[in-house]
Chain A
Amino acid sequence: MRGILFVVAALAVMGLAFWAYQENYKTQATIREVRELHAQIGASHERLSMLRAEWAYLNRPDRLADLAELNFDRLGLLPIMPDAFGRVDQIIYPLPPILPITNPIELSSDAFQSVENPL
């Protein structure tokens, strides 16, 4: 009886040792993965903050004003002035779409034109 107990205990210790060994390696692998992810997040953050800084730099008011002035011919941008405000009823409703022509009628001028322009 005692012998069996010893054997079982010894097996249990070996089993637990094996489990602990495995868990240790799994944990280390996970920690390594977390470290890599952190490094990636850090790099992404740095890139993001660089991009945000660049965005802010490219959108600085002085530059936008200069660009608006340079491209005035194409864009016609002016500083917003009080007369830019309007009322809703000053905006026209969108025009109803034109229905597709399903039954075209042959006009005599078509035939006439085709005769005139042989090309």
Chain B
Amino acid sequence: MTRTPLRPLARILKARETGENPDVIEAEIRAKRHEEMHDKSRQRAEGRLLVLGLAFFCAFTTIGARMGTLASSVPEEPRATTVGNPIIGQRSDIVDRNGRILATNLATHSLYAHPRDMVDPANAAKGLAAIFPELDEAELLADFIGERKFLWIRRQISPEQMQAVHDIGSPGLLFGPREMRLYPNGSVAAHILGGASYGREGVASAEVIGVAGVERQFDGFLRDPANEGAPLELSLDLTVQAASEQVLAGGMSIMSAKGAASVLMDVHTGEIISMVSLPDFDPNNRPRVLTSGDQSDSPLFNRAVQGVYELGSTFKIFAVAQAMELGLINANTMIDTQGPLTWGRFRIRDFHDYGPELTSTDVIVESSNVGTARIAMQIGADRQRDFLGSLGFLEATSVEMGEAASGKPLLPANWSEISAMTISYGHGLSSSPVHLATAYASIANGGHRVEPTLLRVETPEVGPRILSDAVSQSAIHMLRQVVVRGTASLGEVAGYEVAGKTGTADKPRENGGGYYDDKVIATFASVFPASDPKYVLIVTLDEPSVYTLGETRRTAGWTAVPVAAEMIRRVAPLLGLRPHVDTPQSIGVTLTSN
């Protein structure tokens, strides 16, 4: 490129000759040169802009296309970076304290239909009706040839049924994987486990949700994939639970009772080892909730947790234990038992007349209402309410079941002195057998509060102290005397030193207005072994009666006590409790030597 000088000599000389200003030439050339430079840089900038624009266009096109494919494709789990175990996504198992399965899952299939894909709907309907007797062929056919595009046929089918449906060979009959909740032990622990059903359902999977019992209470835990399939460990012992159910069912039929409940609890930890409520049901095939009538007649009703009853004389030990704790009496204090005790328009009388006075131990042993009421008068209503509250009688139990909240105790509206007197012998306050078990556990374990639980306790916590050790021991001694020489003499089990208290409470009429004469709730609250209490067992029979020794008997001593004794005989060895054998003193000459 030829470079034009700013002041070309030829033009300058020419301009000088003509008398023009040569600077004009310089300015002209300079301006021209600037214009060229300007054009060039503009061209370059435009080129750059074009490249940049192209780059941005490409980038946005790529991003847009990627977004489009992401939006239109099926989401996929990233496989290269897997945290944890991606396979165990199903609902966790429920196991007992020894790891035996109480609830697990089974992979089954569901059956659905796409009627549009069917070649021969009539044949398919006929085949299905043959496999599933509950299906109606005409209805199925009407659905298949109608407007419907999709149709559920069965939620769950067995492998044999699946093969049979396969053999029909209709392309419109399809299977979806389906997880089924299985309770392999049938009705064992039915009330505790509750049951499960399906929540949101799709063709590819269905949500299993707990509907009652621990299945509902721990639904979140059981479904949480972060657990990686860790099972829910309950405090129950499957063997003990099954044995208890067997014994209680036998006892219930012998005593011709309408219902029965039992609770076996560890006195130190509050763990419920077995909890039975009869009649029961099969959680694999959970019956429907009653829509009319009394819910407590339904087998779904858990008498041990939801059933609140006046538990009768089993409450007497609370009054006596509190009076001993307050220092009002000791085990040998004489109590006035002259009956009837009149308070306003109320008259409190005993089953038999026990004479003018009894020791406080004998008040428990003979189960004197009058004696206990007098002790309650000494304690006073407020202190009694506080004490029963510290034993847990004033609110629903903390058992981890959805139903526990409905087992709220029925308390007197006005806790007056007469209420205190009747509550002292178990009338006027209704509570569940689990409440009673918890309170007896507190008395038996040396006086510490326990919280009833259905979960296995790894490290037991010692609750706040309610009673002193000495009072706890003398209370257990009194309860032991009830079995040795009192109302619960049929409860003696050789080697296990059973201590306990019977309670027979008349059932209140449903429509108010007093009590039935021939309907009772018979309860036996027991603790064993008395020398070192480990377990509390509550047995409650609803409306028992048995014909023994020439008359019909309804009292707990004749009904609940023998059932409880048989249960202890069966269950204590299963719990690993060794019978305590009194080694007889050897008779003979003791050899001594120097």
Contact = CB atoms under 8 A, between A and B. Distances in A.
A85 B185 contact: no
Given A81-B573, A82-B573, A31 B188 contact: no
A93 B539 CA distance: 44
Contacts of A84: 573
Contact of A82 (B101, B239, B579): B579
A10 interface: no
Nearest to A82: B579
A8 interface: no
A80 B184 contact: no
B184 A82 contact: no
Interface of B: 79-80, 82, 86-88, 90, 93, 100-101, 104-107, 182, 184-186, 188, 238-239, 242-243, 246, 493-496, 569-570, 572-574, 578-579
Looking at chain A, what size class is its interface with the partner chain?
20 to 34
8 contacts: A27-B80, A35-B79, A38-B79, A46-B107, A49-B106, A60-B186, A61-B239, A82-B579
A15 interface: no
Contact of A61 (B86, B105, B242, B579): B242
A56 B496 contact: no
Contacts of B495: 82
Chain B binding surface, main DSSP class: loop
Interface string A22-38: 00000100010011001
A46 B177 CA distance: 12
Contacts of B101: 52-53, 55-56
A62 B186 CA distance: 9
A94 interface: no
B238 A61 contact: yes
A39 to B, nearest CB: 9
Contacts of A56: 100-101, 104, 184-185
A62 B187 CA distance: 10
Contact of A49 (B104, B246, B573, B574): B104
B87 A45 contact: yes
B188 A61 contact: yes
A82 to B, nearest CB: 4
A34 B570 CA distance: 52
A79 interface: yes
Nearest to B243: A79
Contacts of B574: 80
Given A52-B104, A81-B569, A60 B184 contact: yes
A31 B186 contact: no
A49 to B, nearest CB: 6
B104 A38 contact: no
A85 B578 contact: yes
A45 B106 CA distance: 11
Given A45-B88, A65-B246, A53 B572 contact: no
Contacts of B82: 34
Given A34-B80, A85-B578, 12 more contacts: A34-B79, A46-B107, A49-B90, A50-B107, A52-B93, A53-B104, A53-B182, A56-B184, A62-B185, A62-B186, A79-B570, A82-B569
A50 B59 CA distance: 52
Contacts of A72: none
B86 A57 contact: no
Given A45-B88, A82-B493, A53 B573 contact: no
Contacts of B185: 56, 60-62
Contacts of A42: 87
A17 interface: no
B497 to A, nearest CB: 12
A41 to B, nearest CB: 5
Contacts of A80: 573-574
Given A57-B184, A82-B493, A31 B107 contact: no
Contacts of A61: 185, 188, 238-239, 242-243
The 7 closest A-B pairs by CB, nearest first: A61-B242, A56-B184, A56-B101, A57-B184, A82-B579, A42-B87, A80-B573
B573 A85 contact: yes
A35 to B, nearest CB: 6
